[in-house]
Structure 1
Amino acid sequence: MITYILRGLFILLATSVTALYVLPFQAEQEVSVLNVMMLIGGTLILCVGVIALDAAYPEKDLSAVSGVFLGIIAGLLATYAASFLVDLIPVLIEFKEPEAIERLLRGVKVLLGVVFCYVGISLVLQTKDDFRFIIPYVEFAKELRGSRPTLLDTSVIVDGRIVDIIETHALQGPLVVPRFVLNELQTIADASEKMKRARGRRGLDMLQSLQESHAIEVQIEDRDAEGAGVDQKLISLAQHLRARVMTNDYNLNKIAQLRGVEVINLNDLAKALRPVALPGEELVVKLVKPGENPSQGVGYLDDGTMVVVENGREHIGERVDLVVTSTLQTSAGRMIFGKFASTEDEEEAEEAVTEPVAVAEEGHRVRTTRRNPRRG
Structure 2
Amino acid sequence: MFNRILRGLFTIIGFILGFISGEWFLQLQKLAYFNSTTILRMLFLVFSTLFLGLILFLISPVLSSLIGKVMNYFEENIQKMPTFEILIGAFGAIIGLLISVPFVSLFNDILIGKIIGAVLVLIVTALGADVAVRKKEDITAAIANIRKVGVPKEKKIKLPCNGIPKVLDTSVIIDGRIMDICQSGFIEGSLVIPNFVLDELRHIADSSDSLKRNRGRRGLDVLNKIQKELNVEVIISDKDFPEIEEVDSKLLKLAQVLKGKVITNDYNLNKVAGVQGVPVLNINELANSIKPVVLPGEEMTIQIIKDGKEQEQGIAYLDDGTMIVVEGGKRHIGEIMDVIVTSVLQTAAGRMIFAKQKR
User: Which TM class, normalised by the smaller chain length?
Assistant: 0.3 to 0.5
Over alpha carbons, which structure has the higher Rg?
Answer: 1
Higher relative contact order (CA 8 A, sep 6+): 2
TM-score by length of 1: 0.43
TM-score by length of 2: 0.44
